[in-house]
Structure 1
Amino acid sequence: MSHGVVEIFRKGLDTLHISDYHGLVSPGLTCYLNTVLQVLFMTEEFRDQIKRCVPDVRTLDSHLKDFFTELEKKKTRTHRITQILGIDDVYEQRDAAEYFEKVLRLTSPKASRIFKGELNHVTKCYECKNQSDARGFFWILPLSIKEPHQTFKVDSGLEEFFCDEKVDGENKMYCAKCDKKQEAIIMCEMTQPPDVLTLLLKRFHYDYELRRNVKLRCEAEVPLTLQIKDCTYDLYAMVKHSGNLSGGHYTANILSVATKEWYCFDDERVKLKSNLVSGKTPLRSHSAYLLMYMKRRDPENATENGEEVLNSGDEAKETMMEARWNREDETQEDDRKKRTETVKDIIGLPSSQSQIKLSNSKHAVVQYEQNSNKQVSDKKTV
């Protein structure tokens, strides 16, 4: 067989999308949502919790359960999910990180807890040493890219996120004990590491010279493992964004627990990425945007099938954290009702009425997320 014929066969095989997993059929250009749904589906613990969910009209659980069940068998449509999330313009460019949080907020605490961590922001007056604590839960840790023309090292960016910071000058903070604005030290610590640590590379910023938002296209060095709070995390998913703010595209590279292989999820197409990871060498990418790291289990506290066995101390800690999360969910019940307007009622409405009802509730969603994200988006806001 001639070299030319072999080359034709090779190119033909390269165009085939042979995979153990299935793609998503969208009603429009909703790649930002598709990547998020594929990451959640490929997160085995989250998928298992969704499968065991108890029907609740206040959450997305039952709808995700049906969606995941179908996705296990074939290529699946996302039309119902986009409707529930209030995505009325399916051709509008939106943010994957925003919809990652939105989906998690609409799922039950039991299912979403593996993505949930806790931070404590400590503000200490430089003059009187008076200290105040502000604890808050987070889904995503945003990492600032301060040198857009240099390679951004993710591990260094994570270390910088937790570095102490002194505020002075116009940024002085009010001290209740001194009863005036004072210089202060701001410290941030992780008091509850999540099972899945999600990092966001802040590639979008406002350029004051150009007077518009621009994208930072610098290369990112992404380590395969991270060490934080005595926990070891392994990279298992990376959401990538190509293009610009007005016309970009999202894809996701995700590691399968079942096959131990990486796959590229690109809307309807899913392709094996056998050469993505080579040894322990960090990945390098100009388009990495969201990074998901899975906390490594302690083999001494695991059963043969990989399920973690908690000792009495861990059980008490787990119970305490669950009680705190439940209290948080109770205080946010009104917000949840505004966000969902109860999924059951929305789905039962005719199409035109449903869009009106969803658009009205969207303002509550945006306001709630803007308020809740202030703690993590800027460590100065305590």
Structure 2
Amino acid sequence: MVMGATGSKLEKALGEQFPEGERYFGLENFGNTCYCNSVLQALYFCVPFREQLLEYYENKKSLVEADENLLTCLADLFSQICSQKKKTGVVSPRRFVQRVKKENELFRSYMHQDAHEFLNFLLNELVDILEKECNNAKSSPDGSLTLAQVANDTNNTLANGVKKEPFVTWVHKSFQGILTNETRCLRCETVTARDETFFDLSLDIEQNSSITSCLKNFSSTETLNAEDKFFCDKCCSLQEAQKRMKIKKPPNILVMHLKRFKYVEQLGRNKKLSYRVVFPLELKLNNTIEDSDIEYSLFSVVVHVGSGPNHGHYVSLVKSHNHWLFFDDENVEMIDESAVQTFFGSAQEYSSNTDHGYILFYESLTSRS
């Protein structure tokens, strides 16, 4: 596809600083596919994920049974972008979008879709495909090793012997963390802990707050009493208890979804919360995890533009090789790092600025080094 004026403008802006081997391509919009394009850009610039996907694709191409599925379509799209001769331009994700619509009827209509729902669907679908491939490989003596290697079947159990997944795929290795749900009986002091895995955290938000305070609230202690009493196995009865959720094993890529859409009973519909929520460029996980030394760095933000949940637009901000870029479907521009804070939200209830951070992608600095 022919490179537009925005492409050449971007090349001029970066000049000699244009990263070696990197490609900055906009994605064509098919009427209502900005929810998909914004998430795809965030995932493309999630470098560990991109590298594993391209490696998978190279291995897969050499296999005979390369049936088309969502994973092969995504790998094909990423491969298409990174193998472009030009440094900037526009590519069409038509085949991938068609596959999404084929796999999930939710995304078939021309209505406004939710980027977070799409991200959830996509990651879970990729995991399902990889798991099926590994299971098929185990039951087939032919080429089983190649297929098992392709899906990175480590047959591992997770931390402390938790068996949440039969094995850990490379999608899990990038995005999966473990939460511990702790309940302490206030009569006998027995703590019951239940582990669960997550690909992203959905956080309740408040006006004039920050990601740190949202995470603190997420892990705050809640008292279970009156009708909500907890059945304690040791006491063999319902008891008052304290409950809290904390991160037991943080993921390499921490994805956080800000719950900006809230059902308001008086209105009888969902309302968008334009609250100002500060998300820092560097984040430490305090209060939610035992090892608070873990540091994360922001590398992408999916932004919802618009005043309500049923209409609007999605764009994404991406950090690549210390430059910040703004992706709006076909258009790609360079932005200053200070511009990121204009997407925190509004301190006033009614504001002309409707561009608000919706999904945040942080990478662990320890896993990168």
Give TM-score scaled by structure 1 length: 0.67
Deviation, structure 1 residue 81: 1.8
- In structure 1, how many angstroms separate the alpha carbons of the residues matched to 2:50 and 2:208? 35
Comparing 92-101 and 74-83, the one that deviates more: 74-83
CA distance in 2, matches of 1:60, 1:176: 44
Is 1:24 aligned to residue 93 of structure 2? Answer: no
> 1:27 touches 1:90 (CA, 8 Å); kept in 2?
no
Is the Cα–Cα contact under 8 Å of residues 6 and 333 in structure 2 kept in the other structure?
no
Partners of 2:266 and 2:330 lie apart in 1 by 40
Q: Give the distance between the partners of 1:48 and 1:78, measured in 2 at CA.
A: 19
Other-structure match for 2:350 = none
Correspondent of 2:72 among 37, 59, 62: 62
1:130 aligns with 2:199: no
Indicate the residue corresponding to 1:179 in structure 2.
236
2:77 aligned counterpart, secondary structure: helix
Q: What SS does the aligned partner of 1:160 have? A: helix
What's the offset of the Cα at 1:100?
1.1
Structure 2 residue 256 is matched with structure 1 residue 199: yes
Cα shift at 1:169: 2.1
Is the deviation greater in 235-244 or in 14-23?
14-23
Pairwise CA distance, 1:93: 1.3
Deviation at 1:124, TM superposition (A): 1.7
Equivalent pairs, count: 281
* Aligned AA (1:214): K
Q: Could you tell me how far apart the structure 2 residues matched to 1:272 and 1:172 are?
A: 54
Residue in 2 aligned with 1:6?
A: none
CA distance in 2, matches of 1:42, 1:90: 28
Aligned partners of 1:223 and 1:283 also within 8 Å: no
Deviation at 1:36, TM superposition (A): 0.8
Equivalent in the alignment of 1:333: none
SS in 1 for 2:202: strand
Residue pair 1:30, 1:90 contacting (<8 A) in 2 also: no
1:239 and 2:302 aligned = yes
Matches within 5 A, 1:209-358: 209-228=266-285, 229=291, 230-243=293-306, 244-257=308-321, 260-276=322-338, 284-286=344-346, 287-297=356-366
1:121 aligns to 2:121 (yes or no) = no
2:81 is the alignment partner of 1:71? yes
8 Å CA contact retained: 1:240, 1:290:
yes
CA distance in 2, matches of 1:268, 1:113: 31
Measured after TM superposition, the shift of residue 16 of structure 1 is: 7.8
Deviation at 1:225, TM superposition (A): 1.1
Please report how far the alpha carbon of residue 106 of structure 1 lies from its aligned counterpart in structure 2 after TM superposition.
2.2
Distance in 2 (CA, whole Å) between partners of 1:58 and 1:195 is 29
SS at match of 2:122: helix
The corresponding residue for 1:98 is 117
Q: CA RMSD in A?
A: 2.6
CA distance in 2, matches of 1:142, 1:251: 19
Deviation at 1:283, TM superposition (A): 6.8
Match of residue 48 from structure 2: 45
1:155 counterpart SS class: helix
What is the Cα deviation at residue 112 of structure 1?
Answer: 4.4
2:72 is paired with a residue whose SS is helix
**Structure 1 contact 59–106 (Cα < 8 Å) conserved:** no
Distance 1:193 1:225 in 2: 15
Contact 1:221/1:282, CA 8 A, preserved across alignment: no
Deviations 1:295-327 (A, max 9, x none): 1037xxxxxxx7x5xxxxxxxxxxxxxxxxxxx
Shift of 1:104: 1.3
What SS class does the counterpart of residue 297 from structure 1 fall into? helix
